[in-house]
Amino acid sequence: MIDKQKVAESFDRAAITYDQWATIQKNIGDNLLERLQWLKLQPEHILEVGTGTGRLSRALSQEYKTANVYAIDISTNMLTEAAKHSKQHFICADAAQLPIADNSIDVLVSNLMLQWCEDINSVIQEFARVLKPDGALLFSSFGPDTLKELRASWAKVDDAVHVNNFIDMHHYGDSLLQAGLKNPVMDVDRLQWQYQEVKALMMELKNIGAHNINSDRQRGLMGKDKFQAMIAAYEQYRLKDELLPVTYEVIYGYALGKQSVVTTNSSVNIPIDQIGGRKK
């Protein structure tokens, strides 16, 4: 279970330092933009959910100069930072309750936001609601192998939850189908970052707001002995070049908007291009 209020507070605190430390988030955001460029779309209305400091939404504005770009985030401080660099439409809102009209968005993009949501199905349903029938959804999220070395090292210290848990690719795929989105495609990329010391990784996670926000996380201050024990346990992963590896499992998802079928009482309206001729 994810504490939504703690998510907002964590990213509020990290807003000023985020851009300086969010290297992997920038890398994955660039990959997402490149995938979108492959589609050769000409969108009129673009929505980014989980914009953070607005780096990706600025890139979307530059790529699609005639489009209206709307950027949503749950953190007011993140949006304040984003507004310093752009005059786009910034909205503070919950991804599970988007203040966006039905069937109004041509392209919906979300970079590394979904892993912070308590109910993925509800959020995907919202994505499906606001997308036009021919609209496109592209997103990235972290999978369960993310930070696996850190998680395993903490597990040797105690049974508490120290690292956020991430859901797998199949759950996202099922959510897309349940929401009625068309032609869903999922794929996974595994990245490995390297650090001199575990403390450098912990500092980075703190400065981008990626704290442990599970509701059953350990409360209160952590003893120095436990932290040192975790660092010692992590040493088993040190590579021949004397660096420590950190794994990120990156999930990418794509789908089209829901089929345009409207029911009224007992009648069903079907798009004309779906009606075939009579077989002879």
Q: Tell me how far CA of residue 87 lies from CA of 50, 101, 125, 164, in angstroms.
A: 17, 21, 29, 34
Closest to 255 (Cα-Cα) out of 171, 188, 166, 173: 173
Class of domain 4-145+166-191+249-263: alpha beta
In this prediction, residue 118 carries a pLDDT of: 87
Closest to 179 (Cα-Cα) out of 136, 128, 135: 128
Q: Tell me how far CA of residue 33 lies from CA of 9, 11, 94, 110, in angstroms.
A: 28, 23, 23, 10
Model confidence at 240, pLDDT cuts 50, 70, 90, reads confident
Model confidence at 161, pLDDT cuts 50, 70, 90, reads confident
**Residue range 79-83: mean pLDDT, rounded:** 94
What is the pTM for the complete model shown? 0.87
In the numeric block, the tokens 């490995």 are attached to 192
d(CA 272, CA 27): 42
In this prediction, residue 278 carries a pLDDT of: 39
List, for residues 177-217, the tens digit of each pLDDT value.
999 999 999 999 999 999 999 999 999 999 999 876 665 55
Closest to 250 (Cα-Cα) out of 97, 121, 160, 138: 138
List, for residues 22-59, the tens digit of each pLDDT value.
999 999 999 999 999 999 999 999 999 999 999 999 99
Give the E-state strand segments of 52-205 in sequence order. Answer: 68-73, 89-92, 105-111, 131-142, 181-195
d(CA 77, CA 134): 34
Q: Is the dihedral of CA 82, 85, 90, 95 positive or negative?
A: negative
- With contact defined as beta carbons under 8 Å apart, do 124 and 176 qualify? yes
d(CA 201, CA 212): 14
In this prediction, residue 268 carries a pLDDT of: 40
